[in-house]
Amino acid sequence: MDPFARKMIQGTFVYGSVMLVMFAVLTGVYLHTRPHCSDRVVAEATSPGNQWTATVMERRCGEDAPFLTHVNLRPAGTDLQRGFFSGSATEGEVFLIDEDAANTGITLQWSASGALTIHCPHCSPDLQREKDQRWRSVTINYATP
């Protein structure tokens, strides 16, 4: 084979490989900066003694998707851990309901360092997906209808 033709073929493969790598990197950056789901912090409460933080968040995964309201727990002083591509904070999720935050009226109350009460006066039991009673050393009580 002609040396010039061999260099042209090698150059084509190198160029194609660089384009594929560039496409993969830019796709990853796009998916990270514009996640499919977005969580919005509605309220936060830190436990007595500053050991734990409870956060009420509202999630929506797309324009036509319903709102989800959830409560997450994490050690105080740490940031929320969101999924790299999803943008959702699911670690420490203890309560999840298929309603928006304005309709549920969720409030958080720490009665002790390890005792959290989630007040949800307008939560419909039919729409609740998750309702944990315990997370690590925290006992969770619910004041729901």
What's the pLDDT score for residue 100?
87
pLDDT > 90? residue 145: no
What's the pLDDT score for residue 35?
66
Q: What is the mean pLDDT of residues 111-140?
A: 91
The pLDDT mean for the chain works out to 89
The model's pLDDT over 104-115, given as tens digits with 9 standing for 90+, comes to 899 999 999 999
Torsion (CA) 89, 140, 53, 103 in degrees, nearest 10? 60
The model's pLDDT over 31-81, given as tens digits with 9 standing for 90+, comes to 777 767 778 899 999 999 999 999 999 998 877 888 999 999 999 999 888
CA geometry: angle 60, 65, 67, nearest 5 deg: 45
Domain ranges of the chain: 1-34, 38-143
Distance separating alpha carbons of residues 86 and 33, to the nearest angstrom: 10
